[in-house]
């Protein structure tokens, strides 16, 4: 068990809808990352937060947004959902924000858009 908790495990919704994915990092970790894993794109970095502030952005669509709250949990909001947004969304956390701080991944939220 990595100590990173993601909810829900599965989410099925329709096109055009909005969903929120939640992540609780490991105790003591200040950085939270979001990744998307899809069959055609593989694993892609979306966004990183450190102690409540956005630190790095990857291939995150404008329809997607995230935030990290004072208690360090994070939420990823996906809106105007399209079929192509169906994927496994991973949250990861680390103590620091540099490349020497290994990431610990949650088990993911599987999103299916119908």
Partner 1 sequence: AQSVTQLDSHVSVSEGTPVLLRCNYSSSYSPSLFWYVQHPNKGLQLLLKYTSAATLVKGINGFEAEFKKSETSFHLTKPSAHMSDAAEYFCVVSDRGGYNKLIFGAGTRLAVHP
Of 72, 92, 111, 113, the one binding partner 1 by CB under 8 A = 92
Tell me the closest approach of the beta carbon of residue 99 to partner 1, in angstroms.
4
Count residues contacting partner 1 (CB under 8 A)?
30
What is the C-alpha end-to-end distance of the chain, expressed in Å? Answer: 31
The full DSSP string for 45-60 is EEEEEETTEEEEE-S-
User: What residues numbered 35-74 form the site for partner 1, per CB under 8 A?
Assistant: 35, 42-45, 48, 50, 55-56, 58
Helix, strand and coil percent figures for the chain, each rounded to 5: 5, 55, 45
Query: Token pair of 106, please?
Result: 């949650």
Of 2, 13, 20, 65, the one binding partner 1 by CB under 8 A = 2
Are 56 and 47 in contact, with CB atoms under 8 Å apart? yes
Task: Enumerate the β-bridge partners of residue 24.
Answer: 5
Does 106 participate in binding partner 1 (rule CB under 8 A)? yes
| Interface positions with partner 1 (CB under 8 A) | 2, 4, 31, 33, 35, 42-45, 48, 50, 55-56, 58, 90, 92, 94, 96-108
């Amino acid at each position: 068990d990595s100590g990173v908790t993601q909810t829900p495990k599965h989410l099925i919704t329709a096109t055009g809808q909005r969903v929120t994915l939640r992540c609780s990092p490991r105790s003591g970790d200040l950085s939270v990352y979001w990744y998307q894993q899809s069959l055609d794109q593989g694993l892609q970095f979306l966004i990183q937060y450190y102690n409540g502030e956005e630190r790095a952005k990857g291939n995150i669509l404008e329809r997607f947004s995230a935030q990290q709250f004072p208690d360090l949990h994070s939420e990823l909001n996906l809106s105007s959902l399209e079929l192509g947004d169906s994927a496994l969304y991973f949250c990861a956390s680390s103590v620091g924000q540099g490349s020497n701080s290994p990431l610990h991944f949650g088990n993911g939220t599987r999103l299916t858009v119908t």
